[in-house]
């Protein structure tokens, strides 16, 4: 069975694991003649009961985010890409943009949270796998010990786990 891939959504949070996802997505896009949609999701600030907004940190500069997103490029200049900057819940926004764009695949990194932090923070990748209407390819972040052994500048993922939402 052959899977036709013409558009790949790649969520980016400007982290090293996200760069590995861009690298993998670029390779797949080149092999399949597909284009990329590089997506960054800005989470909205929390609202208190009185309507006041709390960012926890300084409010994000949308122009700076756009510039950072513009600097994310496919690792092969021959692969066409567009960029989208949206606000919302990350998992829901990834699923929505993939549907809006008619994506055939989502390629995203995981951050490897476990235990209490995963319980409290949840897993964006896990929710995307469950809710997406297209296949999702996740790249697991290397363990710290393995990162130390990797050659300088290496972005190879520890494991590539294809997952299809049902």
pLDDT in tens, 60-79: 688 999 999 999 999 999 99
* pLDDT > 70? residue 144: no
Superfamily (CATH H level) for 7-164: HUPs (3.40.50.620)
- Mean pLDDT within 1-6: 84
Q: Which pLDDT does position 110 carry in this prediction?
A: 86
Cα(40)–Cα(31) distance, rounded to whole angstroms? 24
pTM: 0.76
Distance of CA 85 to the CA centre of its chain: 12
Residue 89 is given by DSSP the state: -
Domain borders along the chain are 7-164
- Mean pLDDT within 110-135: 74
Q: Measuring CA to CA, how many Å separate 29 from each of 6, 37, 75, 111? A: 8, 11, 11, 23
Question: What phi and psi values does residue 104 have, to the nearest 5 degrees?
Answer: -95, -15
* pLDDT > 60? residue 152: no
Helix (H) or strand (E) holding 97: helix 90-101
Q: What is the pLDDT of residues 98-120, one digit of tens each?
A: 999 999 999 999 875 555 544 44
Confidence of residue 36 (pLDDT cuts 50, 70, 90): very high
Tally of residues, the chain: 166
- Mean pLDDT within 9-29: 94
* pLDDT > 50? residue 121: no
Q: Which pLDDT does position 153 carry in this prediction?
A: 43
């Amino acid at each position: 069975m052959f899977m036709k891939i013409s558009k790949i959504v790649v969520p980016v949070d400007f982290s090293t694991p996200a760069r590995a996802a861009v690298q993998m997505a670029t390779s797949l896009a080149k092999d399949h003649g597909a284009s990329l949609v590089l997506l960054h999701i800005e989470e909205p600030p929390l609202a208190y009961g009185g309507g006041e907004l709390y960012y926890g940190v300084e409010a994000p500069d949308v122009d700076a985010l756009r510039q950072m997103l513009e600097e994310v490029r496919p690792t092969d200049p021959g692969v066409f890409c567009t960029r989208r900057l949206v606000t919302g819940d990350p998992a829901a926004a990834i699923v929505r943009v993939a549907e809006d764009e008619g994506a055939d695949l989502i390629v995203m990194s995981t951050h490897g949270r476990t235990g209490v932090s995963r319980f409290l923070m949840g897993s964006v990748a896990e929710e995307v796998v469950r809710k997406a209407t297209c296949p999702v390819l996740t790249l697991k972040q290397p363990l710290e010990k393995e990162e130390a052994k990797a050659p300088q500048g290496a972005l190879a993922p520890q494991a590539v786990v294809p997952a299809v939402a049902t």
